[in-house]
Structure 1
Amino acid sequence: MPSGGQRKHTISNKTRKRPGKDLDQIHDDLKPEKAARLLQQEVDYDLPGNGQFYCIECERHFIDEKTRQLHRKTKLHKNRVKTLKEVPYTQAEANAAGGSGFFPAITMKTRIQLPTQPDVPVSVEELEKK
């Protein structure tokens, strides 16, 4: 039995062989002009389903429309859609987090809305009573 340092299967083979696109790249693919191009691809006989049935969120090709519809109901697809709903960080936000440059504005991701307190005029006599 191998010791702790000699384990072979610590990382899935799929993550090493097919890393795929990053979430920010997929987020760019979801823009309308690029999404229309990806959904209406030319026929490619090397891809499953000749490249006609593509899931943009998961960047996968399917054999037919029925298989793609079944895929859209899976937990894997729903989790990917949920993670893509989060707005990706911009390069300016990354520079601000790294401390390079001057960025006086707070970013939209980090802004917290605090409830506002109503302005109540307080007299000096009320403060002395407390």
Structure 2
Amino acid sequence: MGRLRRSRVHKAQRDVHRASRTRVRTKDLDIIQLHDLLPHVRAKLETQPIDVERPGLAQHYCVECAKYFESDVALKSHWRGKVHKRRCKALKEPAYTIEEAERAGGLGREEKKVVAVPMQE
């Protein structure tokens, strides 16, 4: 008789491998906020020249999600979808600055408040 159940020891390795894949990685939110949402950059991204190597010849692009789509119908259905709406909501919040990140990690300078204590005689 053989074993009746599968070994479950490799699950953690599989999850780490899936998390490190860069195949479907898009631009980070701070790059989109600081650069792509500027009016002149957004206009260039929405009216790109024809590119044979991009999906849909680079004519259907979602600026907020940094994704190309095959057709206008696919782009419009993406705009109505949950993923796009979540991304837009996340873009409305201000991006973290380097100083905030350093303070959160315990590396930044903290501004101490000086409290005046009345002297007792």
How does the TM-score come out when normalised to structure 1?
0.66
Q: Which has the higher contact order (CA 8 A, sep 6+)?
A: 2
**Residues 56-107 of structure 1 deviation map (CA, whole Å, 9 limit, x = unaligned):** 1111111222211111001111111111111101223334444434668xxx
Distance 2:26 2:94 in 1: 19
Distance 1:63 1:14 in 2: 26
Q: Which amino acid aligns with 1:61?
A: Y
Distance 2:44 2:111 in 1: 36
Distance 2:44 2:83 in 1: 24
Q: Which runs of 5+ in 2 are unaligned?
A: 1-5, 113-121
- Residue 61 of structure 2, aligned match among 32, 37, 54: 54
Does residue 100 in structure 1 map to residue 105 in structure 2?
A: no
Count of residues in correspondence between the two structures = 103
How does the TM-score come out when normalised to structure 2?
0.70
Q: Secondary structure at the match of 2:77?
A: helix
When the two chains are superposed, the root-mean-square deviation of aligned CA atoms in Å is 2.4
Written as runs of structure 1 = structure 2, the 5 A alignment for 1:51-130 is 51-97=58-104, 98-101=106-109
- Residue 19 of structure 1, aligned match among 6, 14, 25: 25
* Bigger Rg over Cα: 1
Shift of 1:22: 1.1
The runs of 4+ residues in structure 1 deviating greater than 2 Å are: 8-15, 91-104
Distance 1:86 1:40 in 2: 26
